[in-house]
Structure 1
């Protein structure tokens, strides 16, 4: 379904929206990341954690946002070289960026690995806090080996640490979708060897890229699923989870969901807790689709939709759904925030939530660097 291009967010707004939206979801979810839903209800009431105001002013983003920003920096460095006419191995730039992130976590870069040169991002103290980083991300980088599809590190690991950092690949304009997928899945191999970790990350990046290219949420979700199915060695668990997420949201037949969103218990039973890659992507996608306003593909970004704060209401509802369950709340909400920020641009970001966000200037600065180097 087409939309008037003049009503669509600018590429710059999508980049800022995606990175800030992910950080907002991450921050709200991080407050309850390891809590069972019963504990969340006991602390915040029957509806769970709904707003930053419920956190008494304490809000931090996790390793999800840290690694997303370091993904941005690795891509920016590769594009800086390219813009100067010098070829650079993008995955090597990303590996070096992740090694610099590893150092911020108090884990020394192994002697067998190259010593990365410091960049602006490494000077930001807010990124040096240890916020429950994933074990596979730490161990994969600490091995000193540059993991690849053919020489994997952590070959059995399929944690969501690949998906939660992979939105930036989809934000690069004017490159073929297959290259978006390859960049993302190759970067996933730096820490996780399981094909679900790679394919889930690549599929997420394809989804973001489709939204940035102007597809609506329904079209982009279908496109990403079809792309996953078309892989030469498709991951059945990923396809099954994404199909189920779309089905539960009512998007197979109706074009929108009129049903009440799943309870936290049903969400986990149907799609999983989000600790592994395909579950995290499925929970986030379901949260976005199940809370979308009717006929959102046309109405939500029109002047009428903006006047009714439809994007902001959708964002809050989706993040709430992605946060309140017994699972990896910060990762599922971070991915959902990335999706909606890429779709709506900054229009969906609640002003009061942005005021509570940790270090928004650092996130905006990295978004501005990506915008500048891509010409977005």
Structure 2
């Protein structure tokens, strides 16, 4: 039986695990089958060796930085609006991606993360949903932006919302819904993000993946009227059956949960944690990098940073950012 990871290890595992998982799958698309041979999953020799951050990896780090900013203000005795801090963090990300922001957008003073090359490195292709940020207006659950976007990108960046131990489930759900509504206003995308954040919260508090998933399922109907296909996705993952239909966000969530649950079962049967971790990401590969990012974050917070394959961590372009943010977030939240 493995020992319980420290809070710092869980935070680091979540951030680095999600980013690395997304990165290794992004490096292999569009044909994920070419790297499905066990033992050969990871950076290819013909690559430069680096695992690049994708949109989910970058924005997960920016989400963590926004939460860090809120905690820093709170520790100084000053209230800071969490939703606004996340929005401003996303605008800083957008600016780093070269996305023009209108004059109506608020000023976005730089923070430490903005000076880190990996966090600002331009993506190969700008996601369609980046248009939600380009307008310079803040989306909210009451007036969400990007209502046509039903993919899993918002869920793939939402894990950090559940990392601050002691935060009530209702607050975690609200933060995830607020964060998703900045770019993905489709109900399924919002509630998939809520599901990920709630699962991370439960795992960070000490639950296993299955227990956390079941608890998340119980809380979803009260999470602002959860979309039926998201509830069906969680049910199907718990039951070990395919998801017959649903939005892209629901399918992404289902694949990520199914892979994470299978990895937990494999570890319980004696599998070495980094091997179980990489097998889970291999399983999500054909579902896409968003599913991989979610599974990597869930297993990273469950098992801690040591479960993320060492080669992936060494080659992760942005591991230094994950280390810095994890250390600061653990200290600011009193979890170090």
Question: Match for residue 263 of structure 1?
Answer: none
Q: Would the aligned equivalents of 2:119 and 2:318 in 1 still touch at CA under 8 Å? A: no
Q: Would the aligned equivalents of 2:25 and 2:32 in 1 still touch at CA under 8 Å? A: no
Q: Would the aligned equivalents of 1:171 and 1:212 in 2 still touch at CA under 8 Å? A: yes
Matches within 5 A, 1:354-373: 354-373=313-332
- Provide the C-alpha distance between the structure 2 equivalents of 1:84 and 1:20, rounded to a whole number of angstroms: 28
Question: Match for residue 260 of structure 1?
Answer: none
CA gap of 1:9–1:45, structure 2 versus 1, over 3 A, is closer
1:135 corresponds to 2:128: yes
1:26 corresponds to 2:22: yes
Offset of residue 45 of structure 1: 6.5
Offset of residue 243 of structure 1: 1.2
Offset of residue 47 of structure 1: 6.3
- Provide the C-alpha distance between the structure 1 equivalents of 2:131 and 2:75, rounded to a whole number of angstroms: 33
Aligned-residue CA RMSD in angstroms? Answer: 2.3
Among residues 281, 293, 309, which one is paired with 1:350 in the alignment? 309
1:337 corresponds to 2:330: no
Residue 80 of structure 2: SS of its match in structure 1?
A: coil
Give me the TM-score of the superposition, normalised by structure 2: 0.92
Structure 1 gaps, min length 5:
250-266
Question: Match for residue 284 of structure 1?
Answer: 256
Offset of residue 270 of structure 1: 4.7
Offset of residue 202 of structure 1: 1.1
- Provide the C-alpha distance between the structure 2 equivalents of 1:46 and 1:347, rounded to a whole number of angstroms: 23
Q: Would the aligned equivalents of 1:40 and 1:48 in 2 still touch at CA under 8 Å? A: no
Offset of residue 124 of structure 1: 1.0
1:50 corresponds to 2:35: no
Deviating more after overlay: 73-82 vs 285-294: 285-294
Question: Match for residue 80 of structure 1?
Answer: 72
Offset of residue 230 of structure 1: 3.4
CA gap of 1:91–1:243, structure 2 versus 1, over 3 A, is same
1:152-189 deviation line (CA, Å, top 9, x unaligned): 22223222221111111010111111111111111111
1:310 corresponds to 2:272: yes
Question: Match for residue 107 of structure 2?
Answer: 115
Structure 2 gaps, min length 5:
none
Among residues 85, 98, 105, which one is paired with 1:93 in the alignment? 85
Question: Match for residue 259 of structure 1?
Answer: none
User: Which one has a bigger Cα radius of gyration?
Assistant: 1
CA gap of 1:46–1:370, structure 2 versus 1, over 3 A, is closer
Offset of residue 283 of structure 1: 0.9
Matches within 5 A, 1:74-223: 74-131=66-123, 132-136=125-129, 138-223=130-215
Deviating more after overlay: 104-113 vs 211-220: 104-113
CA gap of 1:128–1:375, structure 2 versus 1, over 3 A, is same
Give me the TM-score of the superposition, normalised by structure 1: 0.82
1:271-324 deviation line (CA, Å, top 9, x unaligned): 77xx83222211111111123335x5xx57xxxx6xxx622221011011111x
1:320 corresponds to 2:282: yes
1:9 corresponds to 2:5: yes
- Provide the C-alpha distance between the structure 2 equivalents of 1:349 and 1:291, rounded to a whole number of angstroms: 13
